[in-house]
Amino acid sequence: MKKTFLSCLLLLVFCLALSFASCSQAQTPLTNNQMHALALKTVQARYDKAQLLELSAANPHTTPVTLDSPFKNNACWYATLSDPAKVVDHIDREYICVSNAGQIYFPYENKNFSEMLKSEQMNLQSCPNLVALSKYAIQLSNLALQDGWMIINNAQDYYRIKFNVPAASLPTTPERVVQEKTLVASFHPPRCDISNQKSSVSLWTWGVIGGSVNEWKIDFLPTLTLHSESRARRGGGGYD
């Protein structure tokens, strides 16, 4: 009887230990390599030729935008979904994000940024945090921005844009002159507006694809909202 009881007790302890070990293992956050592997497995399950690339705003026609991820618990990639040996159609691509808890956002949608942000526990009343988050949110808002974009801090940045801008591109009418003066006077570096329960960032950008000059207002508190308006166009290119 005692042997039976002890055997049952040992078996119970073993099962509890095994269960605890399994739970602990399940709760262990994924490493960066594991998140990358999960992202690649996810996209290749649908598109066997898919590849993952780092997010990038780089382009020879722009001033580089630093896109260091502000996230610790989430990671995002740009996925090319067709055979890289062929010409990749610009529609045939998506962003994918993965959390270290195993949550997958594919294809990525703008609402997912708010969900990822909740898991980060970042100080949303810190201007450096807000600016870093703004750049990342802008990048993820539009697949075309993977082909290059830049922040316009001042008139010098604006006039430095020469890609597909005709040499004789100065305004030719008094009305256009006034419009351009008003536009360039509006440019400023990323600006944070932080108060008691509110925080937001305003900034200007230019995108290589389309040449759109956009004014952004990104609210982080009380809720995340991205708002942008195209105020002008300057040069830029398109997809063949």
Question: Could you tell me if 94 and 77 are in contact, meaning their C-beta atoms sit under 8 angstroms apart?
Answer: no
Which secondary structure element, helix H or strand E, spans residue 191, and what is its range? Answer: strand 191-194
Number of domains within the chain: 1
CB atoms within 10 A of CB 51: 18
Phi (first) and psi of residue 115, to 5 degrees: -65, -40
pLDDT of residue 83: 63
Residue 19 domain-assigned (yes or no):
no
Question: Could you tell me if 108 and 139 are in contact, meaning their C-beta atoms sit under 8 angstroms apart?
Answer: no
pLDDT of residue 22: 42
Residue 121 domain-assigned (yes or no):
yes
pLDDT of residue 144: 93
pLDDT of residue 95: 97
pLDDT of residue 240: 46
Pairing of strands 104-105, 191-194: unpaired
Q: pLDDT 10s digit of each residue in the chain, 240 long?
A: 545 545 544 445 444 544 444 444 457 999 999 999 999 999 999 988 899 999 999 888 887 788 889 999 999 999 998 765 554 455 589 999 999 999 999 999 999 999 999 999 999 999 999 999 999 999 999 999 999 999 999 999 999 999 998 875 667 788 888 999 999 999 999 999 999 889 999 999 999 999 999 999 999 999 999 999 999 999 998 764
Distances in whole angstroms, Cα of residue 182 to Cα of each of 153, 229, 231: 15, 16, 11
Pairing of strands 74-80, 51-53: antiparallel
CB atoms within 10 A of CB 93: 20
Residue 140 domain-assigned (yes or no):
yes
Residue 139 domain-assigned (yes or no):
yes
Residue 13 domain-assigned (yes or no):
no
pLDDT of residue 84: 55
pLDDT of residue 13: 43
| Full residue range of the structural domain in which residue 143 is found | 30-233
Residue 15 domain-assigned (yes or no):
no
Pairing of strands 74-80, 149-151: unpaired
pTM to 2 decimal places: 0.84
